[in-house]
Amino acid sequence: MSASNLERVLKGGNFAVTSECGPPRGADPEAVRKKGGYLKGYVDAVNVTDNQTSVVRMSSIGASVLLKQMGFDPIMQMVCRDRNRIALQSDLLGASALGLNNVLCLSGDHQKFGDHPTAKNVFDIDSMQLIKTIKGLRDDGRFLGGEEVKGGKPDMFIGCAENPFADPFEIRAMRLAKKAACGAQFVQTQCIFNVPKFEKWMEMVRDLGVHEKVYILAGVTPCKSIGMARYMQKSVPGMDVPEDLITRLKGVPKEGVADEGIKIAIETVQQVRAIKGVAGVHLMAIEWEEKVAELVQGAGLYPRP
Amino acid sequence: MIVANRKPFEEIVEMLKPYSKILLLGCNECVTVCAAGGAKEVAVLASELRMHREKEGSPLEIVEHTPERNCDPEYVDSLAPVIGDAQAILSMACGCGIQFVGEKYRDKRVLPAVNTSFYGVTEEQGMWAERCQGCGNCILDKTLGVCPVARCAKSLFNGPCGGSHGGKCEVSDETPCGWQLIVDRYKELNMLDKYMEIQPLKDWSTSRDGGPRKRVREDLKS
C-alpha cells in the first residue's frame, strides 16, 4: 500500500470523496491555497488538473505540492499531450520525491481547445500505456527503457478516468477493464447527469468484474446556472446533459437556480451511492469550490474518515 | 498519394516580387491527382499571375512546364533546357519535388506554390483525406485496416478518448473518430474481443523522430 490517504480510505471500506482544484493562470501560490481552503476537511483527496482544456496554468506538480503543504492528499493529474515518455517518467520521480502519492493518467484534451491551438502535441504514449509505465516504475523498479530505477521507486496510487457517456458506448466498460489490466487502481468518471445511462454502464462494468479490480468514483458536478448546463449539453464533447435537468432548473425562480443545482447534485450523489460497485464520488464543482462543503454535508458524507 | 493544397495567391505574389521571369513547374503525379499542381493548375496559376503583374505594371514572364515526376533524377536532370534563363522556379510539386529540383539547380531558388499536407486518398470527387503518416512501423493488421496514428487526433493506441461522440472526433464534427472506425471494423468482423489486447508503447524511431529516413536496396544500386 502506498502512502496515499485515498488508498487508505478506499481500502478501509469507506465511501470516498474527492474533489478538484484547477491551478491558477499565474504563479501566485495564494490562488491555490484559497481554493484549497474551501475543501479542507471535506475531501479525502483532491485532484489537481494538468493544463485542463489545454489552457496554460500552473503545473499540476507545483500546485499539488502547495496543497500537500496544506495537509491535503493531492491526486496529480498527468496528461500525455505535452510530455514524452522521458519527461513523464522524470516528473513521476520528482512528484514522488516531493511527497505526492496519487496520479491520474489521462490522454489530455486536444490543444485545439486551448489558448495555444498552434502548438505541437506529443502523445508519445497513451493513457493506458502511462498507467503501465507507472506500475512498472513502482512495482518492477524498471524504466520503460529497461534500466533499473536507482534508490527509491515512486510510491503511487494509480488512477484513471472513464467517460461512460462517450461513444462508442459498447466498449466503454471494456476500456475500463483494459485500464484495470494495465494497473489502474481507481477510476474517476466524467460528470454524471444521466444516471440511468451510468447505471447501464455500471452493469456492463460489473458483468466484466471490473468493479472488483478498481475503485469506481462517480463524477458529480453541480450546475451553477441554466447557461452552464446548456453549455455542457451543447458544447462539451462526450457530455450527456438530459433536457429534463435543464427543465428542472428552469422551473425554479432565477435566484433559486444555484440552490437547485446543488440539490440535484446531492440527489445524484445519493443515487450513484446506491449503485453496486460505486466506491466513492468525485465532486467537480467547476469554479465553484466554495460549494463542495455544502455538497458533502448535504449528501451525509461529513465528517471524513 | 501525397496531397497538397495551393498556397494563398497573395503569398505567392509576395514571393515572386523580385523576379521578372520564372519557370512555373507542375508535376504529373500525386499533385495532379489531387488537383493541386498538375498541368491544369499550372496553367490557371500562370494566367492569374500574368494578369496580376500586368495590372501592377511589372509584367512577369512565365514558362510553364509539368514533367512526369519531380522526385526522380531521370526527370529532374532533363529540366536544364526548360529552366534556361528563368530567375527562379516556382514549383507546384510536393515538398519532395521542390527540394529535389533545388538540390540539382543550385544557382536558382525554388519557391513553393503549394503546402504539402498529407498522404491520403480521394474520398469523393474533389475531396481528399488523410490515411497514413508514414511512421515506418505498420500496425494495420492489429487495428483492422484503420490507422490510429493518422486517424486519431491524439494517435491513441488503446481506444478512443472521452471526446468521441456520435462517430465524430472531439477536434471537429467534420472528422470521423478513428477509434469509432476501428471499433466498427471489430464489430463487422465479429472480433470485438480483440479490442482487449493492450497495445505496447510504439517504437517511434522508425518515424520522423529517428531523424531523416533512407531506404537502400543494394541489389538495385548501380
Q: Which pLDDT tens digit goes with each residue over B137-153?
A: 999 999 999 999 999 99
Nearest to A248 by CA among A266, A229, A233, A235: A229
Mark out chain A residues that contact chain B at CB-CB < 8 A. 80-81, 85, 107-110, 112-113, 121, 123-129, 132-133, 144, 161-163, 166-168, 170-171, 174-175, 177-178, 181-182, 190, 237-238
B175-186 CB burial, b ≥16 within 10 A, e <16 = bbbbbbbbbbbb
Distance CA(B95)–CA(B110), nearest Å, equals 11
Residue B46: give the domain boundaries.
Answer: 2-118
B6 lies in the same domain as B114? yes
What's the CA gap between A301 and A218, in Å, rounded?
14
| Mean pLDDT, chain B, integer | 97
CB contacts of B201 in chain A (<8 Å) are 85, 124-125, 129, 133, 144
Are the beta carbons of B67 and B78 closer than 8 angstroms?
yes
Q: Which chain A residue is nearest to residue B155, measuring alpha carbons?
A: A123
The arrangement of strands across the sheet holding B21-25 comes to B61-65, B21-25, B88-91, B109-112
Backbone φ and ψ for B221, nearest 5 degrees, come out as: -70, 140
**Domain of A59?**
5-298
Contacts with A162 from chain B: Cβ below 8 Å? 162
Residue A63 sits in a domain of what CATH number?
3.20.20.220
pTM: 0.96
pLDDT of residue B165: 93
Give the best residue of A123, A137, A167 to mutate against chain B (max B CB count within 10 A): A167
Task: Report if residue A303 sits inside a domain.
Answer: no
Specify if A236 maps to a domain. yes
CB atoms within 10 A of CB A71: 10
Nearest-neighbour CA in chain A from B65: distance (Å): 36
Which residues does chain B have within 8 Å of residue A129's beta carbon, measured at their own beta carbons? Answer: 157-158, 199-201
Interface ipTM:
0.94
Give the CA-trace dihedral at B204, B208, B210, B212, to 10 degrees: 160
- Mutual orientation of helices A243-250 and A257-273 as an angle, nearest 10°? 140
Q: What would you report as the CA-atom Rg of chain B, rounded to the nearest whole angstrom?
A: 22
Average pLDDT (A19-24) is: 96
Distance of alpha carbon B16 from alpha carbon A176, whole angstroms: 56
Nearest by CB to residue A238, choosing from B162, B187, B192, is B162
Collapsing DSSP to helix, strand or coil, B211 comes out as coil
Would the pLDDT of B222 be above 80? no
Q: Which residues in chain B have their CB less than 8 angstroms from residue A174's CB?
A: 192, 195-196
Question: Tell me, what's the pLDDT at A237?
Answer: 79
Number of domains making up chain A: 1
Q: How far apart are the first and last CA of chain B?
A: 28
Pair B101, B153 in one domain:
no
Q: What is the DSSP letter of B59?
A: -
Say if the Cβ atoms of B196 and A177 lie within 8 Å. yes
Residue type at position A103: V
In a domain, A54, yes or no: yes
B89/B158 same-domain check = no
pLDDT tens digits for A103-125?
999 999 999 989 999 999 999 99
- Cell numbers 482544456 label which residue? A53
Residue B89 has what pLDDT? Answer: 98
- On whether residue A227 sits in a domain, the answer given is yes
> Helix (H, G, I), strand (E, B), or coil: what is residue B110?
strand
| Distance to chain A for B176, nearest Cα, Å | 12
Q: How many Å apart are CA A193 and CA A249, to the nearest integer? A: 13
Q: Does the residue B149 lie in any domain?
A: yes
Q: Quick check: helix, strand or coil at residue A48?
A: strand
Q: Does residue A102 sit within a domain?
A: yes
Q: Is the pLDDT of residue A238 over 90?
A: no
